[in-house]
Amino acid sequence: MNGEPIDLAIIGAGPAGLSLGALLRGKPDQKRLGARFQIFDRKQSFSWHADQDFAHSKMLSSVLRDLVTPVEPTNEFSFLQFLHQNGRLAAFMNRGVMLPSRSEFAEYLSWCAGQLKEVSWSSEVSSLSITSDGNFWRIGIKDCLTEETSSTLARHAVLCTGWTPNTSDIEYPDCQQVFHSSKFWTRYSGIPQGSRVAVIGAGQTAAEIILHLLGDKRRIAEVLWFDSNPSPRLLNLNHFVKEYFTHEYGQTFWGRSSEARAKVLAKDRSVSHGISGAMFAAIYERLYRNTYHDGGPRLRTRFLTQVTRIAQENNALTIASQSSDANKCDIVDAVVIATGFRNEHTLLDQVAISGRHRLNFDCSVSTGKDHKAKLFVLNANFDEFGLGDGALSTIPGRAAAVLNAMDLGFRIEATPQELLVDW
């Protein structure tokens, strides 16, 4: 066991874990600064979706939806503060852009992570259990470099472990040429020149990959685009549904009946599943140029088609699929599975909560027992907080609610923000 118990163990140093750290350290407030916490992450150093970052990748949310601003605009970890400290605020404002590139946002997140001395990199949390008196969480940690294990006690724990790549509906061989979109850049260099590449899925990431492939005429000969819908869908980013991406909407959603919540989740998928208008325009423009001017890769669409199996024979890959017309078979050199992410909580499963877990209003886990030590889950809870959960913008509000539920001797006083739609 490593030393004295800490107040709070944060598992994962992505935006959710960093937001908690930023709220604890980004304000000159003695009570907050007294909180003892540690953020554990299995990565060796900070990165944010680096394997899926393209030159054309833009944030889908405003710069004001950073780690702190929605609840605490004066916090030192804001995006504006990042711009200012790096001498770019004036130039950034002159551009008149509210959606920065993803690489600039990653740079901001890295700047935040670099200021939090409480982050332990290469530290994978491999087990989580409660002490017999119910007062502490025992956090089992594996050093990813040395494989050594240790443990620490914490009064409370927050799971900020993010999402897991989703490839579950497709049978595919374990080989270099078939990979999930989250490994794009790592695997792309292995794709030989003149390749035919298939992309499965029609979300924003799939579209970004298609745009990239269509622009790489040296390496790519042909792109095949598979999706089970008759055509790719437009991401619904209208002003009304933008309210989904607020902490306040999430709380309203939480209060609805489970039937109503299930209905919204089933009927409103266009809010989280689809492609932005700007990305459609860019792909169509690229197709036009490839066809009439530049002679770049061709696009073959396989819509209304469900990929069932990918098989490898020598160096070629055979894609078996079912469309409404017939069963089909395509031969390609590489396949990118861009079917998104799923919510998997392996650590939560270890604490033996039976059935589907139900989170409380403050993101704490209902264990059914009166333990002093609380466990929270941040940013992966569509069922409880709606389709906005999992996005950046809801994180600070939830992070503040989590900290306020911990009896740490301070409160983060965030003025509730009004919604204009009566959900």
User: Which residues of this chain interact with ligand FAD, rule CB under 6 A?
Assistant: 11-17, 40-43, 49, 52, 59-61, 124-125, 160-163, 205, 379, 390-393
List CB contacts of 352: < 8 A, sequence separation 6 or more: none
Tokens (6 digits) for 234? 């437009």
What does the block give as tokens for 149?
């294990």
CA proximity to 108, closest of 68, 139, 145: 68
Three-class DSSP category at 329: strand
User: Minimum distance from CB of 267 to ligand FAD (Å)?
Assistant: 21
- Min dist CB 340 to ligand FAD, Å, is 8
User: How far is CA 206 from its chain centroid?
Assistant: 15
Nearer to ligand FAD, 14 or 21 (CB): 14
- Other beta carbons within 10 angstroms of residue 147's beta carbon come to 7
Local structure of residue 207 (DSSP, 8 states): H
Minimum distance from residue 71 beta carbon to ligand FAD (Å): 15
Of 40 and 136, the one with the shorter C-beta distance to ligand FAD is 40
> What is the rounded distance in angstroms from the CA atom of residue 19 to the CA atom of residue 22?
5
Distance (Å) of CA 101 to CA 105, 186, 235, 389? 7, 21, 18, 22
For ligand FAD, give the closer residue by CB, 61 or 339: 61
Cβ proximity to ligand FAD: between 85 and 346 the closer is 346
Closest CB to ligand FAD among 195 and 393?
Answer: 393
Question: In whole angstroms, how close is the CB of 272 to ligand FAD at the nearest point?
Answer: 9
Q: At closest approach, how far in Å is the CB of 297 from ligand FAD?
A: 22
The rounded distance, in Å, linking the Cα atoms of 293 and 97 is 30
Quick one: tokens of 141? 């940690």
Q: How many CB atoms lie within 10 A of CB 31?
A: 11
Measured CA distances, 249 to 256, 384, 393, 419 (Å):
11, 11, 11, 8
Cα separation, 246 vs 392, in Å, equals: 9
**Which of 339, 379 has the CB closer to ligand FAD?**
379
Report, in Å, the least distance between residue 222 CB and ligand FAD: 25
Q: How far is the CB of 161 from ligand FAD (least distance, A)?
A: 4
For ligand FAD, the closer of residues 317 and 395 by Cβ is: 395
Smaller CB separation from ligand FAD, 113 or 332: 113
- Nearest distance in Å: CB 124, ligand FAD: 4
Q: Is 311 exposed, middle or buried (0-12, 13-18, 19+ CB in 10 A)?
A: middle
What whole-number distance in Å separates Cα of residue 209 and Cα of residue 275?
A: 12
